[in-house]
Chain A
Amino acid sequence: MSPTARDPQLLKGVLPMLVLLLLAEHESYGYELVTRLQADGLDDIAPGTVYPVLTRLEREGLVASRLVPSSSGPARKYYRPTPDGDAELASSLRGWTALSATVRAVVHRAPVPTTEESS
């Protein structure tokens, strides 16, 4: 594992929040959302990871979708947050902010072990 490899479990916890955040910026269809996540630094994220999240968010009424005709293929399903999704996003961001502050404080205080590879 490379030193910068991401723990999939870490990503799993924040992916719904990231999806809601990106969709709040502007609506996207599934594959476009994947490419936006990749462009934002999650370059190893796969569509197969993102689509189930979109399905769940839609089932829970946190995102709404609409079909938009496309010039380069079949009609695309664009997603955007619902008011419930906006509320969930705000709640998630508060939770993330509190958690990341705690983690940062602990990380800064604790000594970081060095390895052969990194030295």
Chain B
Amino acid sequence: MNAETSRTTGTADTAPRSTNPPARDVVRREWFLTRLSWHLQDHPGREAKQIVRDLRGELTSAAADVGMRQAVRDLGHPLVLAEGYRAHLGRRVPRWTAGAVAAGLAVAFLVYLGFAYAFGTLDTLEALGGGTVTRYPFGAETVFTSGADGIAVESTFTWQGVVIFVLVAAVAFVLGSRAWRALG
């Protein structure tokens, strides 16, 4: 049995004391672990959570000796530390979070294109003196109206439009996450 165990199983005067670190240390530790978690997204989820859990304990232990600031500093940059873990992983795994971000950005870009197209069409109609025109952006029948009463855009729901959005999101997700790494 090691000394640590002996202390904790000893008499009342050696019983564990309150061990909550100061709030500032907790914030410093959790901020580091949050950044590390982002960079650990290459890891299988269960192992990444275990790494963060272990490091939380190690940081708190080290902080008792050298202070939380130094304990965090000793771990270096979270990106470099995550790369250290990744190097010991021995294989490459998908980056699902990056894939989700890429898919979100791709969909947002399509929405932006839709709005740009709509405002461009309405501007053109207004420059021509107003009127109504029907177009099919992303396969959806859309009626643009511009007149003295104001402007209007009416669009219908089509499966073709949904397929385009889903397809673009899927391609961005696959490329962004390097999903093929899951195959081998």
Other-chain contact of A74, B4, B7, B61, B80 (Cβ < 8 Å)? B61
Q: Which residues of A contact B80 (CB under 8 A)?
A: 48
Interface range, B side:
35 or more
Q: Is the CB of B60 within 8 A of A48?
A: no
**Cβ–Cβ contact A48 & B57, under 8 A:** no
Given contacts A31-B61, A55-B88, A70-B16, contact A46 B75 (CB under 8 A): yes
* Interface size counted on chain A using CB atoms at 8 A: 28
For residue A31, which residues in chain B have a CB less than 8 angstroms away from its CB?
58, 61-62, 65, 71
Q: How far is the CA of A46 from the CA of B157 in the complex (A)?
A: 58
Do A26 and B75 have beta carbons less than 8 Å apart? Answer: no
- B149 contacts chain A at the CB level, 8 A cutoff: no
Contact call A76/B19, Cβ cutoff below 8 A: no
Contact yes or no, B8 A68, CB < 8 A? yes
- B101 CB within 8 Å of chain A: no
B150 within 8 A of A: no
CB pair B4–A68 under 8 Å, yes or no, is yes
**71-115 of chain A: CB within 8 A of chain B:** 71-78
Q: Are A47 and B57 in contact (CB under 8 A)?
A: no
**Among residues 16 to 64 in chain B, which have CB atoms less than 8 Å away from a CB atom of chain A?**
16-17, 19, 47, 50-51, 54-58, 60-64
Set of chain B residues within 8 Å of A59, measured between Cβ atoms = 47
B84 within 8 A of A: yes
Chain B: CB-nearest residue to A59: B47
Give every chain B residue within 8 A of A78 (Cβ-Cβ): 2, 4
List the B side residues contacting A74 at CB < 8 Å. 19, 56-57, 60-61
The reply on A69 being an interface residue by CB < 8 A is yes
11 contacts between A and B (CB under 8 A): A35-B65, A52-B87, A55-B51, A55-B85, A56-B88, A59-B47, A69-B16, A70-B4, A71-B4, A72-B17, A76-B57
